[in-house]
Amino acid sequence: MPIVAPFPAELRDAILTWYASRGRTLPFRDTTDPYAILVSEAMAQQTQAARAGEAWTRFMATFPTLRTLADAAPADVLRAWQGLGYNRRAINLQRAARIIVDEYGGQVPSDLHALESLPGVGPYTARAVAALAFELPVGAVDTNVRRVLGRIVAGDTGVLDPKAMQQVADDAVPPDRPGFWTHALMDIGATLCRPRRPLCDACPAQPWCRYAAAPTAEPRAPAVRETAAPFTKTSRWLRGRIVEQLRDAPNGEWVVLRGPIGDHDQAAVDVAAAALERDGVIVLGSPENQGEPLRARLPT
């Protein structure tokens, strides 16, 4: 299927105009500090933007500079990350800060290859930092942006392969406003171009959008999804509870990981703890007494 190329200037202008008056107000959008933007993007990887914004404000008050983060005890970083989940992101963020201090003179690199080499920084995060912090004309493609651009140029998400999608995203970026554009696409995806029942009539891209132009006899029905197991039965929930136990202990103090925790027996606790140790989130120690469960602490 042919795609729109080059990206129409009128479409780009409509999106930018919409964002100027309708874009979300988020605390991390008021900064151009590359370190602060790197923190915000690490938080937003698997967290809603509003929630990430609240956590970002607290985290930046605790670690206002890249060097303060690099020099901190990992346990303190994990405590500052409380409420965000996916605690490996906090460990990777500090690892990235230490690499930047050691290898880049304490300055977040602007080069895409250098950014992608940092722990926890993939293609999307690298391009988001490059566009937002350094105004490089690169397209940051996350789930929301993929849906917006895929619907506009190809009629739906998934029609374009990743390489083609990245090319469309890069071609669409206005050279003089890449950061503004990045936020605009993210907001359209989050508020209008939703996975189910998108608000096409309110979308500034509607006149150019192949998805919106496709004839439909009725609103697109959501796909049938299997009922997921309760969150409290997942390994993710269990891992979070283990870390919460350790956050309450002083740095360096061992805590006995005694099961059950919720519906998870001792064997499940041990498996989850081992996974957390592999991720660098906790440190495991031998039992104090024979037959006792393993001990654990946050890394120091």
Verify cis geometry, omega within 30 degrees of 0, for the bond prior to 174.
no
Q: What element of type H or E holds 295?
A: strand 295-297
Residues 206-229 pLDDT 10s: 999 999 998 663 444 454 455 566
CATH fourth-level superfamily of 9-213: Hypothetical protein; domain 2 (1.10.340.30)
Is 294:273 a contact under the CB 8 Å cutoff? yes
Backbone angles phi, psi at 44, to 5 degrees: -80, -5
229 by Cβ neighbours in 10 Å (0-12 / 13-18 / 19+) ranks as exposed
CA angle, 73 as apex, 71 and 75 as ends, to 5°? 150
- Tell me the domain boundaries of the chain: 9-213, 231-297
156 by Cβ neighbours in 10 Å (0-12 / 13-18 / 19+) ranks as middle
Banded pLDDT at 31 (limits 50, 70, 90)? very high
CA gap 271, 292 in Å, rounded: 16
Distances (CA, A) of 130 to 46, 133, 136, 155: 19, 6, 6, 28
Q: List 297's β-bridge partners, or say none.
A: 283
Verify cis geometry, omega within 30 degrees of 0, for the bond prior to 6.
yes
Banded pLDDT at 47 (limits 50, 70, 90)? confident
Q: Return the closest-CA partner of residue 133 out of 49, 52, 28, 47.
A: 28
8 DSSP assignment:
P
Residues with catalytic roles: 41
The pLDDT of residue 5 is: 52
- Structure tokens that stand for 172 in this block: 């669409």
Banded pLDDT at 6 (limits 50, 70, 90)? low
The pLDDT of residue 221 is: 45
The pLDDT of residue 275 is: 94
Tokens 């994990």 belong to residue: 78
